[in-house]
Amino acid sequence: MSSLNEIRKRINAVNNTSKITQAMKLVATAKVARQKADYLKISNYISGLYDLLIQLTRSTTYSSIFISKRDANKNLHIVISSTLGLCGSYNINVCKHLINNLGPNDDIIVIGNKASSYLQSRGLKERIIAKYQFNDKFASHIELLPLTSYIIDNFISIKYDKVFLSYTKYMNSLNFVPTTLQLLPLDFKLFKPDEKNINYEINELNDNKQIIDFIPNHHGIIESLIPFFTSSMIIASLTESHLCEFSSRRNAMDSATENAKELIENLKLEYNQVRQEKITQEINEIVAGS
């Protein structure tokens, strides 16, 4: 059995750890509130862009390279993970989801250090062609310009037939679902705004298409808007993934704090038990000596 000094040191160490986890929980809680507000804003913004694309494609017979279907010979996968750890199974789940959807010739672009480390440990180092890092603040189109430029240029040159984005979808404060979204070619059947989180309704298809005049022309706006929409979707997915990351970290730190409290209580019981045994032993020695 451990001595009183050893148990006391363990109690102090666990108590210090619980203070750290409690502080990390409070920080994550504050960031969750900020990320949730940003997520709601970007969701409504994406809805407006999506509605505009629907109107554009319905009012013209122009077939854009960004919409035309291709045979999937080689695809590009973008995966969003965290840069920091201590967020439960958040990173592992999205990486496993990516691997399940990965083709034999597909390339990977990694956002965040954790996905890069996990994929390299699974023998996929050669498949990673680029790595990016973005902080938890609201990303801008300028920050994403190198990434979106690479995606658009290589899709136009037919290096990649499809572009997928793997990220974590926020369901509620306890549930986060790894999801894959097809960015290019844009498939309106695959992408539907989340009606649970945003005030938006998708207009149903009508037999009589509404005629809308776009200046200078339809195809010019479509060719400019879809790359911008792609960049906006990455920003929205980054924001949603950060929301899941901080929510997962908050839950993990909450569990760690509760476990630390339980461990402290058990150590205190052990400490009192050892102390009582020493007192009893000393009393017995005194009685025996007298």
CB-based contacts of 136, cutoff 8 Å, min separation 6: 31, 35, 242, 245, 246
- pLDDT at residue 245, rounded to an integer: 94
233 against 203, higher pLDDT: 233
Lowest mean pLDDT among 137-151, 193-207, 244-258, 262-276: 193-207
* pLDDT band at 225; cut points 50, 70, 90: confident
Average pLDDT rounded to a whole number, residues 56-84: 82
- pLDDT at residue 81, rounded to an integer: 95
* pLDDT band at 286; cut points 50, 70, 90: confident
**Whole-angstrom distance between the N-terminal and C-terminal Cα of the chain?**
29
Summarize pLDDT for 149-197 with one digit per residue, the tens.
999 999 998 899 999 999 999 998 889 999 999 999 887 665 555 544 4
* pLDDT band at 207; cut points 50, 70, 90: very low
Give the residue among 233, 219, 65 at the shortest CA–CA distance from 157.
65
User: Is-contact 273 5, C-beta < 8 A?
Assistant: no
Domains of the chain with CATH codes = 4-23+251-289 (1.10.287.80), 25-199+213-249 (3.40.1380.10)
